[in-house]
């Protein structure tokens, strides 16, 4: 999605620190400082008018007093958990230590809390994008994003960023 938005003409906040790897051979659009958001909420000022990648957990730390437009990427949780397990294995770190089913339930509850929190925020508008839709209908998704952001984007260039070969953690039920 970050590649799509960049190709569409939006300015992306990234530090380029995280290099491409087997999980994401086309590189990352990470901005490490965003992880400091809970302690340094003002750092979001650097992303004014730009695009920044934020994990759902960090939404809670967005400071009030600003307008935000959130493109919320959604994917079946079994796929998320399988993908995360593979990333954790490659990183050599220790994850939640829960069985996949328990982790799926935990992530589901977490998303419910995030959604409930977002619902009450008048300064945050949300556009939800299904991961599978991006792969199947990239042009339609790109147009919907253009409409949500209410600014002209190069939707053709956006839709050409999709590389279906990277869709490896397909849910068995998908």
Partner 1 sequence: MPEPLAKKVLLIGWDAADWKVINPLLDQGLMPTLDDFINHGVMGNLATLRPILSPMLWNSIATGKRPNKHGIHGFMEPDTQNGGIRPVSSTSRKVKAIWNILTQRGFKTHVLGWFAGHPAEPINGISVSDLFPYATAPQDQPWPLPPGAVHPESLRDTFAELRMHPADVTEAAILPWIPRAAEVDQEKDKGLMSFAKILSENCSIHNAATWILQNEPWDFLAVYYNGIDHFCHGFMHYHPPRMEGIPEDRYEIYKDVVNGAYRFHDMMLETLLNLAGPDATVLLVSDHGFHSDHLRPRGIPAEPAGPAVQHRPFGIFCMKGQHVQQDERIYGATLLDVTPTILTLFGLPVGADMDGRVLVQAFEEPPQIARIPSWEQELGECGMHPSDLRMDPAAAQAVLQQFVALGYIQPPSEDQSKAVASAVREANYNLARDYLDCGRPDDALPLLEDLAKNDPKQTRFQMHLAQCYLALSRRAEAKQILEALITADLNPPEAEAAKAEQPDQAEAGQVAENVQQAESPQAETARTETPEALAPETTTPEAATSQEKQPNPRPWADLLMGVIHFEEGNMDAALASLLKAEQSDPRLPNLHLRIGETYLRQKRTDDADRAFQQALDIDGDSPEAHLGLAMVRLRQRRNEEAAEQALLAVGLQHFLPLGHFYLGVALARLGHRQRAMLAFETCLSMLPGLVAAHRWLAALHSQPGGDLDKAIRHRSLYAQLMQQRKTRARA
Tell the smallest beta-carbon distance from residue 168 to partner 1 (Å): 16
Q: How far is the CB of 33 from partner 1 (least distance, A)?
A: 10
Residue given tokens 């990352």 in the structure block: 28
158 Cβ contact list (under 8 Å, min separation 6): 4, 5, 7, 8, 138, 142, 145
Nearer to partner 1, 35 or 160 (CB): 35
Nearer of residues 93 and 165 to partner 1, judged by Cβ: 93
Least separation, in Å, of the C-beta of 109 and partner 1? 4
Least gap, CB of 152 to partner 1 (angstroms): 32
In this structure, are residues 23 and 90 in contact, taking their beta carbons and an 8 Å threshold? Answer: yes
Query: Is 8 or 53 the residue whose CB approaches partner 1 more closely?
Result: 53
Phi, psi of 122 (to 5 degrees): -70, -25
Nearest distance in Å: CB 120, partner 1: 8
Compare residues 2 and 103 and give the one whose CB is closer to partner 1. Answer: 103
Residues that bind partner 1 (CB under 8 A): 35-36, 38, 55, 57-58, 60-61, 84, 87-88, 91, 93-98, 102-103, 105-110, 112-113, 116-117
Closer CB to partner 1, residue 113 or residue 123?
113
Give just the sign of the alpha carbon dihedral 84, 12, 162, 137: positive
Residue-wise DSSP of 19-47: PP-SS-TT-----GGGGGTTT-GGGGGGG
172: left (phi over 0), alpha (psi -120 to 50) or beta: alpha
């Amino acid at each position: 999605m970050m590649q799509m938005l960049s190709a569409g003409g939006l300015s992306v906040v990234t530090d380029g620190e995280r290099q491409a790897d087997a999980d994401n051979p086309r590189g990352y659009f990470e901005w490490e400082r965003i992880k400091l958001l809970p302690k340094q909420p003002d750092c979001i000022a650097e992303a004014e008018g730009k695009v920044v990648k934020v994990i759902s957990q960090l939404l809670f730390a967005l400071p009030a007093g600003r307008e935000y437009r959130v493109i919320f990427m959604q994917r079946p949780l079994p796929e998320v958990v399988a993908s995360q397990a593979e990333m954790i294995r490659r990183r050599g770190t220790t994850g939640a230590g829960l069985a996949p089913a328990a982790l799926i339930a935990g992530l589901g509850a977490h998303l419910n809390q995030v959604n409930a929190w977002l619902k009450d925020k008048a300064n945050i508008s949300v556009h939800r994008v299904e991961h599978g839709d991006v792969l199947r209908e990239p042009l339609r998704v790109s147009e919907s994003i253009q409409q949500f952001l209410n600014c002209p984007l190069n939707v053709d260039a956006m839709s050409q960023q999709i590389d279906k070969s990277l869709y490896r953690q397909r849910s068995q039920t998908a």
